[in-house]
Amino acid sequence: MSSSAVLQQQQRTEAMATAPSLDTAEHGTFRLSDLPPLPKPNLSEMRSQALCGNLLVLSLITIFCGLTNAIALWGPSAHTGAAWWVVFVAIWGQTAVALVCLLAIMWADPGTVRRSEATCFPVPDAVAEKLRRGESLATIGNITRDGRTYCVRCLVWRPNDGGRSGGRAGSSLTHHCQTCNRCVTEFDHHCGVFGRCIAGKCEFRGNMWAFRLILVMAASGAITCGAAVLSSFAMNGSPYVPGSQSFPPAPPLSPT
């Protein structure tokens, strides 16, 4: 046997000796650092989508607030008294809520399943064997065991949904997002407008509450703006339409 063949055999032997065995993987002594890195998210797509979403929200805020303030609050046909305060509180309150929702969508965790001792172990036999040999996991699919699913891309066990997915074998409310490249609990969809996963089915888990609320704020902002502007024109007349405003009658002409 040639010296190069002997060297390769020694290297394989050393790799087998230092690689975690199936037994250690099953008993939780498989280190997290032994796992390959998480797949990289598609950052260019996520950033372009997020830019479009932020510009859309800020543009709508500018339009609705700008028209309401310029005409219904501070313009020649502005509301007065209690009506002024109602319009002011409504439009700026909706703006504040929309901005909070935007921040929550962009920065709050939608429910990503993060690597830990509890989520990564025990490593399934097929995955441990591939890792021990240094082979790609692309040739095997997700593994289902005892009602739970192991994602071979994130290398995590997805949480048990308690039967909320319908009880089908291998079904789960947790899914792997192809754009973010992460498993997300109570996944609904990846939003192409904001560039984020939208998830969470109840209470304030995830960011579904912020996504739904920002849609409500968009609709209510349009209604508030339209109602405030039209009512100000109806009550006080439009300075932009000749003859629409009421003026006191002109004094009679003195006889010449």
Residue 252 lies in a domain: no
- 3-class secondary structure, 207: coil
Residue 199 lies in a domain: yes
C-alpha to C-alpha distance for 146 and 168, rounded to whole angstroms: 12
C-alpha to C-alpha distance for 4 and 134, rounded to whole angstroms: 21
Could you tell me the pTM of the whole model? Answer: 0.78
pLDDT at 34: 86
Q: Which of 243, 177, 235 is nearest to 206 (CA)?
A: 177
Residue 9 lies in a domain: no
The distance of Cα 176 from the centroid of its chain, to the nearest Å, equals 14
Residue 5 lies in a domain: no
Residue 12 lies in a domain: no
C-alpha to C-alpha distance for 109 and 153, rounded to whole angstroms: 19
Mean pLDDT of 106-123: 94
Instruction: Tell me whether the omega of the peptide bond preceding residue 251 falls within 30 degrees of 0, making it cis.
Output: no
Domain that holds residue 134: 19-236
* 233: pLDDT strictly greater than 90: no
* 184: pLDDT strictly greater than 90: yes
Residues 72-105: tens digit of each pLDDT: 999 888 999 999 999 999 999 999 999 999 999 9
Residue 242 lies in a domain: no
Residue 11 lies in a domain: no
Is 168 or 229 the better-scoring residue by pLDDT?
229
Residue 191 lies in a domain: yes
C-beta of residue 78 within 8 angstroms of C-beta of residue 215: no
Residues 138-174: tens digit of each pLDDT: 889 999 988 889 999 999 999 876 555 554 544 578 9
Q: Which of 244, 226, 243 is nearest to 235 (CA)?
A: 244
pLDDT at 247: 45
pLDDT at 25: 42
Q: How confident is the model at residue 214 (pLDDT cuts 50, 70, 90)?
A: very high
Structural domain count, the chain: 1
Q: How confident is the model at residue 252 (pLDDT cuts 50, 70, 90)?
A: low
C-alpha to C-alpha distance for 186 and 209, rounded to whole angstroms: 12
